[in-house]
Amino acid sequence: MTPTDDEALAKAAAAGDRAAFATLLDRHYDRLFAFAFRLTGARAEAEDLTQDICLALPVKLASYRGTARFTTWLYRVAVNAAHDRRRRAATRARAADGWGDWEVDRQAAIAAETAVEDWLATAMRALPRELRETVALTLGEGLSQSDAAEVLGLSEGTIAWRMSEVKKHLRGLARAEGML
Amino acid sequence: MSDDLDRLNDRLRDRLKAAPPAPDPDARARTLARAMENFDAHTEAAQETAPEPRPTSDRPDGAGFLTGVRAMLNRLTKGPILAATASAAALGAGLMILMPSLTGGPHAPLKAPVAPTVTPTVAPTVAPSATVAPKPENPPEAATRTVAPADPAAPVTEAAPPAALPRAAAPMPAASMPAAPAADASGAAAPSEAEALSEPMVEPMVMPAPSAKMAAPAPVTIEGSAAFGYADRIAPPAPTDESFANGPANPVKVTAEEPVSTFSVDVDTASWSIVRSSLAAGVLPPPEAVRVEEMVNYFPYSYPAPAADGAPFSTSVTLFQTPWNKDTELLRIGLQGRMPATTDRPPLDLVFLIDTSGSMDEPAKLPLLVQSFRLMLDHLRPEDRVAIVAYAGSAGLVLEPTAASDRARIDAGLAALQAGGSTAGAAGLTEAYRVAGQMKQPGHVARVILATDGDFNVGIDDPQALEAFIAKERDSGTYLSVLGFGRGNLDDATMQALAQTGNGTAAYIDTAAEAQKVLSDQLTGALFPIADDVKVQVEFNPATVAEYRLIGYETRALQREDFNNDKVDAGEIGAGVQVTALYEVTPLGSPARLSDPSRYVVHQTRRSLGELAFLKLRYKAPGAKTSERIEEVIPPTPTLNPDDDARFAAAIAGMGQLLTGGKYLGDWGWTEAITLADGARGPDADGYRAEAVRLMRLAAALPH
């Protein structure tokens, strides 16, 4: 356990403690970036999304009540920021969303270093957005179903149902590839 | 089998865990530095009055399981029955089945919104100005903040905190809602729906009654939206996955600098339906979903029919005092398309292109779609022909071109539609246009009717390629209409783009009643173009008009030179269709003028004072290559007694602006909008206007 836990740091930062805020950022940037990457599947998108979240954090912290764990709250902020980002992108009539972008920008993505392997990209693209989010939280971040449920504001049963949906999609994918 | 599945699951887990590369140290450092800057700026600003932060979460911190269930039930069934009878088992089962459609989770602000606790004795006008339109009111201190709404990106994320559903208490004069037992605000025992489900956060919301009709003691009512007859509506899920097409509101133009305003007509009405379904669910619509012109055009007006031998549409121009600003005038331009005798209409070749992807598998989508098409079939004639193409994964011809008289075969084709698979919109479109091309006969009108929830996520993902394809087909004479179904991943932007490119209309269908209006009542209009590429150009006279502003039509703006260029595509007008445009005009010398006159530029004006503006319309007869032109001088004298149509259109335009920030409305708010609309309902045979007034009342009660 660190000398000061996330929750205390977050409250201090919300009250104007600069050092607390810096510690929080430093502590969570890498995790945020990894999660953003799992959500979007592209390095540039993930960097931008992480930046969106970090830059908005000073304002958002005011709404942190300390009733949820800080990481849970932060995942929720991240998921919402991803939604906002997608919505803005769509409003500008750009391509659909992260893993879809990846498809559209396949050439660029291959040229860049974000060589996400094909199987993962295909699998993630095959999933509807809400399943992708759920998968990123549970399988990617290793959250329990109840923690993922809290992040997404859903019941645990819904998460369980979504994970069974994920399996169905994976099975369809495997069939298409002749694996099953 | 299940081992295999587990292996797949593990594979996904391993790959996902391994996927993220190491963060780029430069990007990391840059972001952290900028975040610290923001932190400093925020703490400084917090010394002054901090703005209410946008709720970051889809629901409140620490909200319990029941909150979600309650909010969901409120969305799905507004009636008291479920609240009274729901057993724990029913709740559990409902959650399993229904939650997937509410993907973003129930929306609720993080903090309880500040209820406008105005006591009933306060004059009603005080309330809305305090709660609805804070921006224009405190000019000096708030100067920096009022810049924010001008940022086109900002409203998307910052201005639309979805509302707490159970707080959607609507102020309604008790007299006009017979079914609703009005509860006294002071009565703590008031049995509201919210309390029946025992949610501690929810307090009764107290609102002053907005209508002038309210009697003096002004009983305050507490009421959910349940009593307004929306119980049968399928409420939209949290609109987290939708995209909408809109631009920033048209700015005020200085006549001396830019006297000419040019735009393409817009006969779509999708925006109104989206606004309605949001408000009926107790949520403010996202501002970018609000297109004022589509809201105004949703309603029928009694414009005079065009002369039998003249142009295919008539114009009605009215100038009257702006409801929200006594020093400006509203210029209403109404177009009425000719309604040919229905017996004369050419035979129709219709290709239904139906999205059967997995996301359509919801009651408000595929089943409603099939029902809608059945309604439409009743209005077709034996010589019309129908084909059905389904798309999901792979596009397929479900029903060969079939005479409309062969109802049994068509019904069988519709019944065979099943949702499943992913969406490949482009493949389906190609197939539909191919079928339409086959069916095409001289003298027939060919149209592809695309029904979708707009989720084009496989296939040609490039919107430009899709539009180019549709534009090519449009030039070959096949029209395209787009019908949107369901909420949740409605891709309004794509729908708009497709319909505008395809010379067609986009409509959003949320209920069987709306299907009736769009497909049956307007069957002729939606399906028979009487004029193509209709463009409107208004040249304002700098000698009489200081400033003007086009309300709405942001997505339809044209360049001045495009007006005379027949190659530039614009909207079509169908048989009997009406189009209304509103300009807010500031006369020369009016105190409402926003810009200072130029010190140096003196304009030479011709034919001065007798004209306010010069209206020019261009259109092509369907299929024609060159355009015709209509011109009309608009006199500068406003009428003192605008008719119901003009005042109602103004009220709806005001409503649209209130939903998007109301930058130009001053302290004119919901109360005034409701009074204006209520007094301009006219005959309103189908009740559309009454519904609009109800929705305004709902909107007024939502936290803004």
When mean pLDDT is compared across A99-108, B255-264, B460-469, B630-639, the lowest value belongs to A99-108
Which residue does chain A place closest to B359, by CA atoms?
Answer: A128
pLDDT of B695 reads 93
Radius of gyration for the alpha carbons in chain A, expressed in angstroms and rounded: 17
Inter-chain contact B16–A38, Cβ cutoff 8 Å?
A: yes
pLDDT digits (tens, 9 = 90+) for B456-513: 543 455 667 777 777 777 777 788 888 888 765 566 667 777 777 776 667 778 777 7
Q: Highest mean pLDDT range out of A77-86, B386-395, B541-550?
A: B541-550
Query: In chain B, positions 135-194, which contact chain A (CB-CB < 8 Å)?
Result: 153, 156-157
Phi/psi region, residue B488 (left: phi>0; alpha: psi -120 to 50; beta: rest), is left
Sequence-separated (6 or more) residues with CB below 8 Å from residue B505: B267, B268, B269, B481, B482, B499, B526, B574
Which positions in chain A touch B461 (Cβ < 8 Å)?
95-96, 100, 103-104
Nearest-5° angle of CA A43, CA A44, CA A45? Answer: 90
| Residue A69 identity | R
Q: Is pLDDT above 60 for B89? A: no
Phi/psi region, residue B233 (left: phi>0; alpha: psi -120 to 50; beta: rest), is beta
Which positions in chain B touch A153 (Cβ < 8 Å)?
57-59, 63, 68, 104-106
Burial B365-399 (b: 16+ CB within 10 A, else e): bbebbbebbebbbeebeeebbbbbbbbbbebebbb
Distances (CA, A) of B454 to B243, B516, B671: 10, 21, 36
Q: Let me know how many helices (H) and strands (E) chain B has, helices first.
A: 20, 16
On whether any CB of chain A is under 8 Å from the CB of B421, the answer is no
Question: Between B406 and B170, whose confidence is greater?
Answer: B406
Detail the DSSP E strand segments found in B435-565.
445-452, 479-485, 506-509, 529-540, 545-551
Among A95, A134, A107, A122, residue whose Cα is nearest residue A41: A122
Which residue does chain B place closest to A146, by CA atoms?
Answer: B65
**A1 to chain B nearest CA, in Å?**
24
| Rounded-to-10 torsion of CA B86, B87, B90, B96 | 100
**DSSP conformation class of B402:** E
Question: Between B577 and B260, whose confidence is greater?
Answer: B260
pLDDT digits (tens, 9 = 90+) for B189-199: 333 333 333 33
Which positions in chain A touch B110 (Cβ < 8 Å)?
63
Q: Is pLDDT above 50 for B277? A: yes
Q: Check the CA dihedral B654-B659-B663-B668 and report its sign.
A: positive
Inter-chain contact A84–B157, Cβ cutoff 8 Å?
A: yes
**A25 to chain B nearest CA, in Å?**
7
CB B667 within 8 A of CB B326: no
**DSSP conformation class of A137:** I
What is the spatial distance between Cα B186 and Cα B202, in angstroms, rounded to a whole number?
A: 15
Neighbours of B476 (CB within 10 A): 11
Inter-chain contact B57–A180, Cβ cutoff 8 Å?
A: no
What is the spatial distance between Cα B464 and Cα B630, in angstroms, rounded to a whole number?
A: 33
pLDDT digits (tens, 9 = 90+) for B579-603: 899 999 999 888 888 888 777 766 5
Which positions in chain A touch B463 (Cβ < 8 Å)?
93, 95
Which positions in chain B touch A158 (Cβ < 8 Å)?
95-96, 99-100
**B253 to chain A nearest CA, in Å?**
25
Distances (CA, A) of B418 to B356, B366, B452: 6, 8, 13
Burial A136-161 (b: 16+ CB within 10 A, else e): bbbbbbebebebbbbbbbbbeebbbb
Which residue does chain A place closest to B55, by CA atoms?
Answer: A63
Q: Which domains does chain A have, with CATH numbers?
A: 1-114 (1.10.1740.10), 117-180 (1.10.10.10)
Detail the DSSP E strand segments found in B422-570.
445-452, 479-485, 506-509, 529-540, 545-551
| Residue B347 identity | P
Inter-chain contact A104–B462, Cβ cutoff 8 Å?
A: yes
CA B167 centroid distance within chain: 23
What is the spatial distance between Cα B271 and Cα B242, in angstroms, rounded to a whole number?
A: 13
HSE-CB of B464 using CA atoms within 13 angstroms: 4
CATH of B342-526 given 3.40.50.410, 3.40.50.1100, 3.50.30.10, 1.20.140.10: 3.40.50.410
Question: SS3 of B1, please?
Answer: coil
Inter-chain contact A22–B53, Cβ cutoff 8 Å?
A: no
User: What number is the average pLDDT over the span B202-213?
Assistant: 36
Inter-chain contact B16–A43, Cβ cutoff 8 Å?
A: no
On whether any CB of chain A is under 8 Å from the CB of B637, the answer is no
**DSSP conformation class of B518:** I
Which positions in chain B touch A28 (Cβ < 8 Å)?
none
When mean pLDDT is compared across B29-33, B393-397, B547-551, B583-587, the lowest value belongs to B393-397
Which positions in chain B touch A139 (Cβ < 8 Å)?
9, 12-13, 16-17
When mean pLDDT is compared across B50-64, B314-328, B562-576, the lowest value belongs to B50-64
pLDDT-based confidence at B558, cuts 50/70/90?
confident
Among B384, B378, B377, residue whose Cα is nearest residue B347: B384
On whether any CB of chain A is under 8 Å from the CB of B99, the answer is yes
CB pairs < 8 Å spanning A and B: 223
What is the spatial distance between Cα A135 and Cα A163, in angstroms, rounded to a whole number?
A: 7
Q: What are phi and psi of B448, to 5 degrees?
A: -95, 130
Strand partners, B445: B348
Query: Locate tokens 């100038």: which residue?
Result: B319
Query: In chain B, positions 350-409, which contact chain A (CB-CB < 8 Å)?
Result: 358-359
Q: Which of B30, B103, B246 to mutate to test the interface with A (most CBs of A within 10 A)?
A: B103
The DSSP secondary structure of B45-86, one letter per residue, reads HHHSPPPPPPP-SSS-TT--HHHHHHHHHHHH--SHHHHHH-
What is the spatial distance between Cα B657 and Cα B704, in angstroms, rounded to a whole number?
A: 13
Q: Check the CA dihedral B91-B97-B98-B100 and report its sign.
A: positive
Inter-chain contact B21–A43, Cβ cutoff 8 Å?
A: yes
pLDDT of B670 reads 94
Sequence-separated (6 or more) residues with CB below 8 Å from residue B88: none
Report H helices in B177-228. Answer: 193-196
User: What number is the average pLDDT over the span B299-323?
Assistant: 87
| Residue B203 identity | E
pLDDT digits (tens, 9 = 90+) for B26-69: 889 988 988 888 888 877 776 554 444 433 333 333 333 333 33
Strand partners, B550: B583
pLDDT-based confidence at B238, cuts 50/70/90?
very low
Interface predicted TM-score of the whole assembly (ipTM), two decimals: 0.81
Which positions in chain B touch A105 (Cβ < 8 Å)?
none
Query: In chain B, positions 446-485, which contact chain A (CB-CB < 8 Å)?
Result: 456-457, 461-463
Query: Locate tokens 């086009």: which residue?
Result: B550
**A80 to chain B nearest CA, in Å?**
7
Question: Between B373 and B645, whose confidence is greater?
Answer: B645
Query: Above pLDDT 70, what percent of chain B?
Result: 62
Q: Which of B56, B241, B394 to mutate to test the interface with A (most CBs of A within 10 A)?
A: B56
Among A76, A137, A49, residue whose Cα is nearest residue B108: A76
**A156 to chain B nearest CA, in Å?**
9
CB B321 within 8 A of CB B329: yes
Among B429, B495, B593, B469, residue whose Cα is nearest residue B242: B495
Q: Is pLDDT above 90 for B652? A: yes
**B247 to chain A nearest CA, in Å?**
9
**DSSP conformation class of B100:** G
Inter-chain contact B9–A139, Cβ cutoff 8 Å?
A: yes
pLDDT digits (tens, 9 = 90+) for B105-124: 334 333 334 444 333 333 33
On whether any CB of chain A is under 8 Å from the CB of B55, the answer is yes
Q: Is pLDDT above 60 for B141? A: no
CB B55 within 8 A of CB A63: yes
Distances (CA, A) of B333 to B281, B314, B576, B613: 33, 10, 16, 12
**A4 to chain B nearest CA, in Å?**
20
Which positions in chain A touch B245 (Cβ < 8 Å)?
91, 93
pLDDT-based confidence at B24, cuts 50/70/90?
confident
What is the spatial distance between Cα B551 and Cα B553, in angstroms, rounded to a whole number?
A: 7
Which positions in chain A touch B64 (Cβ < 8 Å)?
none
Which residue does chain B place closest to A87, by CA atoms?
Answer: B243
On whether any CB of chain A is under 8 Å from the CB of B244, the answer is yes
On whether any CB of chain A is under 8 Å from the CB of B104, the answer is yes
Which residue does chain A place closest to B108, by CA atoms?
Answer: A153
- Is residue B210 within a helix (H) or strand (E), and if so which, with residue range? none
pLDDT-based confidence at B520, cuts 50/70/90?
low
Q: What are phi and psi of A150, to 5 degrees?
A: -65, -40
Of the candidates B56, B95, B241, which has its C-beta nearest A80's C-beta? B56
Neighbours of B183 (CB within 10 A): 19
User: What number is the average pLDDT over the span B642-659?
Assistant: 94
**Sequential pLDDT tens for chain A (180 residues):** 445 788 888 988 888 889 999 999 999 999 999 999 888 888 888 888 898 899 889 888 888 877 788 998 999 899 988 888 877 665 544 333 444 444 444 444 444 434 456 778 778 877 888 888 898 999 888 888 888 988 888 888 888 888 888 888 888 877 776 654
pLDDT of B121 reads 37
Which residue does chain B place closest to A49, by CA atoms?
Answer: B31
User: What number is the average pLDDT over the span B387-400?
Assistant: 76
Inter-chain contact A55–B34, Cβ cutoff 8 Å?
A: yes
pLDDT of B273 reads 84
Kind of pairing, strands B385-392 and B348-355? parallel
What is the spatial distance between Cα B692 and Cα B674, in angstroms, rounded to a whole number?
A: 9
Instruction: Considering chain B, tell me which residue range(s) the CATH 2.60.40.1230 domain(s) occupy.
Output: 253-265+291-339+530-675
Q: What are phi and psi of B556, to 5 degrees?
A: -115, 10
pLDDT-based confidence at B455, cuts 50/70/90?
low
Sequence-separated (6 or more) residues with CB below 8 Å from residue B509: B273, B368, B369, B372, B483, B484, B485, B515, B518, B519
Instruction: Considering chain B, tell me which residue range(s) the CATH 3.40.50.410 domain(s) occupy.
Output: 342-526
**A102 to chain B nearest CA, in Å?**
11
What is the spatial distance between Cα B657 and Cα B135, in angstroms, rounded to a whole number?
A: 13
pLDDT-based confidence at B400, cuts 50/70/90?
confident
| Residue B126 identity | V
Which positions in chain A touch B95 (Cβ < 8 Å)?
155, 157-158
Inter-chain contact A33–B23, Cβ cutoff 8 Å?
A: yes
CATH topology of domain B253-265+291-339+530-675: Immunoglobulin-like (2.60.40)
Distances (CA, A) of B416 to B184, B357, B399, B412: 53, 14, 10, 6
